[in-house]
Amino acid sequence: MQPLAYIPSPSQGIWHIGPVPIRAYAIMIILGIVAAVWLGERRWAAKGGSPGVVIDVAVWAVPFGLVGGRVYHVVTDYQLYFGEGGDPGRALQIWQGGLGIWGAIAFGAVGAFIGCRRRGISMLALADAVAPGIALAQAIGRWGNYWNQELYGRPLDAFWAVEIDEDHRPMMEGGPGLDPQYADVATYHPTFLYESLWCIGVAVLVIWADRRYKLTHGRAFALYVAGYTAGRAWIEALRIDHAHHILGLRLNDWVSILLFLGAVAYLYRTRHRTGPENVGAAPEGPSSGTSGPGEEKSGPEDGADASGKAEPESPKDAPERDAEDGTEPAGPGEREDGKTGAGAEPEPASAKKDTADEHGADEHGADEDPADEDPVDDRPADEKTGDEKTGDEKTGDEKTGDAEPGGERAENGSAGDGGAARAAREEPVKDGK
């Protein structure tokens, strides 16, 4: 059976540079590892982790994973190496193909655990970061099966079918020789292609779900396991290579079912799990305005806030400040700059606001000569209030004998409680009349 269109088989999968063989299968595995580390580093940095952590852990995880993948394949297909007519030496020929993903993940997890312990980071956080990268590595690595013409499915007459040479078609069980059932069949289901595309979809799914739902504490990795096993189950059912069967299902089908159920159960049990994860982020170095080790951080000066601006002075603190500076507080009708009476320049409206709310005022005014001060009216505050007019004008009866009519009042515009408080602090001055 030869369809009109199909995916051709590669003419060769090994090239030689001098005595060194370059195998396409190994190249696909290496490219997959590089892609997984690259994507894992980017996702780890997005979690706030230190650069280079994924590479350091991969130094442990990759060798463990390769050994585990080979061990799984040899154990599940032991008859090929230790059965009748088998060659145990072929069990070490990893370049001939034969890596079980479940063994690779299991042993790789052991290596990752060692690497995470050495770096002092959470293994679950790292697993979430590298989960889509593992799926991408599988998508690339499956093309190694194409170069080796292995792991294909049932016969297929379609334009996407893959051509398989006679030397790589199914052999008779228990001995050499081509299986007559497939002797005249040239094209088959490209299960390697199905799984490669499926793994790319799983990687995209994990990245999207992680951004959408913030999958942490191992949930992104669990989603990868659930997604991959769901596809592996139906892809495995298409394959015709020899495998162990249990209750009518291939061994890898049972493994996929169990792992799928376990991943879904984990997702359900940790659906509300939140909290910080230990990603081992490097501490930021000292920057400008921050204190280094052993140094005390200087705070803002008294009377200034964090931005360096002076805080407004409370009205009740003003007399105490004047007493400490040795200056007399400004009396009624007298400004702090020493100008009084009618000769004083009129202040803008904003200057007549309450001193307690006024910003930018001079906290330490110039010392004033007590001799230049006007005599202070020592009448009770209630008598003075009755003589005042509305607005900013005073009556002709001023508080002191020397003050001229129309003299400027205190900054508040009235001889209220603030003026009375200041008058009470000054020494009594005799009437000059």
Spatial separation of the C-alpha atoms in residues 184 and 178, rounded to whole Å: 10
| Token digits of residue 159 | 């334009």
What are the distances in angstroms from CA 101 to CA 10, 38, 41, 228?
Answer: 24, 20, 22, 11
Global confidence as pTM: 0.63
Dihedral sign from CA coordinates of 113, 117, 119, 121: positive
3-state secondary structure of 90: helix
Residue 142 labeled ligand binder: yes
Burial of 271 by CB count in 10 Å (0-12 exposed, 13-18 middle, 19+ buried)? Answer: exposed
Nearest Cα residue to 25 out of 40, 14, 39:
14
> Which secondary structure element, helix H or strand E, spans residue 65, and what is its range?
helix 53-76
310 band by pLDDT with thresholds 50, 70 and 90: very low
Share of the chain above pLDDT 70, in %: 63
Average pLDDT of 126-146?
95
187 forms bridges with which residues in the sheet? 163
Confidence of residue 166 (pLDDT cuts 50, 70, 90): confident
pLDDT in tens, 228-239: 999 998 999 999
d(CA 321, CA 213): 59
